[in-house]
Amino acid sequence: MTREGLLQFLGTIIDPLTGQNLVLANRIQDIKIDDQRVQVMLFFPPKLDSNIKSEINFKVIEEFAKIAPGLSIDLHFGNPEPAHKKSSNLPQIKNIIAVASGKGGVGKSTISVNLALGLKQAGLKVGILDADLYGPSIPIMLGLKGKRPEVKQVYGVNKIIPLQAYGLPVMSIGFVVEPEQAVVLRGPRLAGVMKQFLEDCLWPELDVLVIDLPPGTGDIQLTLVQTVPVTGAIIVTTPQQVSVADAIKAANMFQMDGIGVPILGIVENMSWFTPAELPDKKYEIFGKGGGQHLAGLYHTVLLQQIPLVLSVRAGGDEGRPSIMDEGENDSTKYFKSMAANVLDQLNLRNENMAPTQKVVMKN
């Protein structure tokens, strides 16, 4: 029995608490294999119900006997440390949430900005990093277009000081290049910029750093998971099947063997359009059901459906995100609900799952 074969087997056992398999749920802490015996240490919450423990133990032993009749397997149940106590290049940041999509134009940056502000309104210390190096839009959305961050020496090391908007520390490549300037970076240079924004910025103590990723999968996403432990990912899609198909690719990257970043949930943007003169009508311009379908594929939740609302676009262009509007208009209500649901899923993830680890690439 090899380690790879054992992990493949454990990937067939469902964790009753999350609905994911034991590998994707980051339950595997340690594995030891000798000629006659296999030992597996699992991460579970401190007050795991004894019936659930027995259910997992029985299922593993029963199924393992079918594939390796000459070996015995022992399970040991341990308790995870809080996610923010894991080893990190950014120990002052408790949680890192990546906001991703499979394709551009689905409103991912709008979701990122309103999520960060919604979490701040819930009482958390929140920052936002615009990692969409090809199309940075967060400076415009937060009213910071044309601003430049300061660089200060801290203990003899140059550090970039994030700008501030609505109480959020903010960093973006849009602060260091002109909006019309094409950003042509590949491979090591692209990875270098991403690492600089993470490690060379003087981020304050934060409960959450929201990272707005570029569409798709590539060097930036890989650099992120290699540089810092990502607590969880949020996948943004529209209801349209083309968008969902691309979103699956983005989600699959986070779920790859050796990466194992939990999917906190799905946000479906542009779910419907309601004209002001017809408040009871919902026109599902891009179809329906895409977000729920995606959530089902990954045994996660649909965090929110966000309708097409003119004020959301206008607020983004004017540097005043929709969630900052006074009163409970439709868009504000949806974004606040989204942030509350993300916070619930973040807390559940940290209570029930082991901390994510940085990815170490093998040659």
In tens, the pLDDT along 28-70 reads: 878 888 877 888 888 887 777 888 888 898 889 888 888 888 8
Cα separation of 193 and 20, whole Å? 34
Q: How is the chain split into domains, by residue range?
A: 3-78, 85-352
Compute the mean pLDDT over every residue in the chain, rounded to the nearest whole number.
87
Query: What pLDDT band is residue 87 in, cutting at 50, 70 and 90?
Result: very low
Question: What is the structure's pLDDT at 37?
Answer: 84
| 125/143 Cα distance (integer angstroms) | 20
The b/e string for 111-121 (b: 16+ C-beta within 10 A; e otherwise) is bbbbbbbbbbb
Residue-wise pLDDT tens digits, 193-218: 888 889 899 999 999 999 999 988 88
| Rounded-to-integer distance, Cα 91 and Cα 184, Å | 31
> What is the structure's pLDDT at 361?
62
Structural contact between residues 239 and 290, judged by C-beta atoms closer than 8 angstroms: yes
Range 337-346 average pLDDT: 96
Radius of gyration from C-alpha coordinates of the chain:
22
Whether domain 85-352 has CATH 3.30.40.10: no
CB-based contact 71:37 (threshold 8 Å): yes
91 pLDDT more than 70: yes
Fold of 3-78: GMP Synthetase; Chain A, domain 3 (3.30.300)
pLDDT at 166: 96
Domain 3-78 shares a fold with domain 85-352: no
> Residue 86 has what pLDDT?
47
Does the structure show a pLDDT above 80 at 260? yes
Place of tokens 């082991």: 354
**pTM (2 d.p.):** 0.79
pLDDT of residue 283: 92
The rounded distance, in Å, linking the Cα atoms of 284 and 307 is 9
